[in-house]
Amino acid sequence: MIDFRYHLVSIIAVFLALAIGIVVGTTALNGYVVDDLRARNGKVIHDKRNLEDVVKGLRTQVSRREQFAAAIAPQAVAGQLTGERVLIVTTPGASEQLVRDLTDLVSQAGGTPTGQLALRGDLLDPVKSAVVDDVVTQVAPAGLDLPSESTGDRAALELAAAVVTRSEPVGISRDAAAKVLGGFTGADLVSVRRPAGSASGSALTPATLVLLVTAGADGRPLDDVGRQRQAVVLSLARTLDARSNGVVVAGPETAAGSGGLLEAVRADGSLSDDVSTVDSVDTAYGEVVAVLSLHEQAAGRAGRYGTGPGSQAAAPTQQQ
């Protein structure tokens, strides 16, 4: 007769066998899992090292190409801007070192830098439109027919009339130009950097070409205020182009992305047909392209150059 102790021993034996099976099975499974994970991890490490080698190689290529572009820049641009006077206009955040490099390259191309016109935040701020309008009214040159559309358009026309001209003069008098720049600088709407040797407070020599240098963008769409600020710059670019031999708008590659000034210019068909754009201007290659684009503008042509969104070619095609 089977007693209770027999049942108890049997039950214990079953559970013991189950436990041993679980332990043995888990150990075997763990061994497989560990081996698989080790293999996968080894592959990831191998792939990572391969990618690091690729990145290192690409950086070396880019560095060598930049060295080459910098080395040939003076020869590449020599004579391209002979007889032209070039004004550099900057938006807030534009690199001062880049402005100095471009100024030097303009000189090496045979052009004459007339100075730098730096746009200040208050000029672009819609909240400050009343201040801008007061300045526009106070310094308005006699005979200059100001538009009625917006404060930004009126300010753009006054500034353009004061700093640029075509081959055949269409600007305002030197005294009137000095008054315009004095009013705008006095209200901290712009700042002016004159060439070495120029008298302080004097008007800038009217430029025949304009290089408008902008900062990069963060890739996010602009809000209403941002679009209004950008609209003032676009109006100035359009007006400078209408009153000179041409305008090139240049900036880093990010400026061609969402929210950037280059994106806005390239998206405006009526503007991009007349005004050239260059992204990657923060590289030696881009600086050379910017100067070649100024030459192209003087010849009455325009294009979209660089490597960013909306670009159409690496550089202008040189034509006789």
Asked if residue 47 and residue 136 are part of one domain, the reply reads: no
Instruction: Give the pLDDT confidence score for residue 172 in this predicted structure.
Output: 82
What type of residue is 80? Q
**Burial of residue 274 (number of CB atoms within 10 Å: 0-12, 13-18, 19+):** middle
What phi, psi does 314 have (nearest 5°)? -75, -35
- Residue 313 within any structural domain of the chain: no
Q: How many structural domains does the chain have?
A: 2
- Residue 315 within any structural domain of the chain: no
Is the pLDDT at 61 greater than 70? The verdict is no
Closest by CA to 163, choosing from 271, 245, 244, is 244
Of 30, 62, 77, which one is at a domain's C-terminal end? 77
pLDDT, one tens digit per residue, over 268-291 is: 988 999 999 999 999 999 999 999
pTM here is: 0.81
The helix (H) or strand (E) run that includes residue 191 is strand 190-193
Asked if residue 296 and residue 154 are part of one domain, the reply reads: yes
- Residue 47 within any structural domain of the chain: yes
Instruction: Give the pLDDT confidence score for residue 75 in this predicted structure.
Output: 83
Decide: helix, strand or coil at residue 280: coil
Instruction: Give the pLDDT confidence score for residue 22 in this predicted structure.
Output: 65
What are 258's strand-pairing partners? none
Asked if residue 286 and residue 270 are part of one domain, the reply reads: yes
Range of the domain at 168: 79-305
- Residue 240 within any structural domain of the chain: yes
Give the relative orientation of helices 129-139 and 151-163 as an angle to the nearest 10 degrees: 40
Instruction: Give the pLDDT confidence score for residue 76 in this predicted structure.
Output: 79
Asked if residue 114 and residue 32 are part of one domain, the reply reads: no
- Region 100-120: mean pLDDT is 96
Average pLDDT, the chain: 86
